[in-house]
Amino acid sequence: MGRPEAGWMERLPKDRLIAEFSVWSADLVRLADDMARIAPHADILHIDVADGVFAPAFLFFPDLVAAVRNVSDRPIHVHLMVDDAVLLSQIDQFAEAGTDLISIHLENAAVAGAALDRIAAHGMKAGMVLRVETPVAGVAEWLPRLDMVTLLGTAIGVKGQGLNEAAPARLREAGALIAASGRRIVLAADGGIRETTVPVLRAAGAETVVLGSLAFGAPDLAARMAWLASL
């Protein structure tokens, strides 16, 4: 279907939660069907990538992104959970596959400058993700180069965990840093996303939450999305 039109990030909604759907929770056997099912509701598709070193899981690969790109015109956000040694090559591969936004980790700080240069050279938007144990203040120096900041609310790369109790305060701290920067940077929450936690995260300043089973497993997706939009 091709990439979204230029300026897609500037057009993301500001009056409701941005709907970011995690492909990790889709039916991967019927991926095209699931992408069509969520198309009326999704603002962004979120694809996690993990190398089994930086994060314990092995998750997704460039061919999957290319397959998603063929069946969806939604912006694709790739979250790279990979070791410094492969970060730059991974950026190249996922850019070629059709990614629109790549987020690296603050914990990749040793190569973060080069990684952000590479993302910019490919004409993509840039994000940065912080593990739940990483001090939020560390992201401040990178804000002039970022379009999104994502705070993890659970341990990295593992499904089904409860939200860390520090998550709301960390969002508020990040929101204050973003406000002080004077830039439009989307603040996202990822991990521990439940019906009971989304209102708390939204109240703490999250502009988007990464939706897994809360969306894909909803008995009535339209009703679930209407509820999310009302928060």
Residues classed as catalytic: 48, 190
User: Is the distance from CB of 99 to CB of 78 less than 8 angstroms?
Assistant: yes
3-state secondary structure 13-42: CCCCCEEEEEHHHCCHHHHHHHHHHHCCCC
What H or E segment, with its residue span, contains residue 101?
A: strand 101-105
What φ, ψ does residue 197 adopt, rounded to 5°?
-95, -25
Question: How buried is 190 (Cβ within 10 angstroms: 0-12 exposed, 13-18 middle, 19+ buried)?
Answer: buried
Report helix, strand or coil for 146: coil
| Token pair recorded at residue 56 | 């314990």
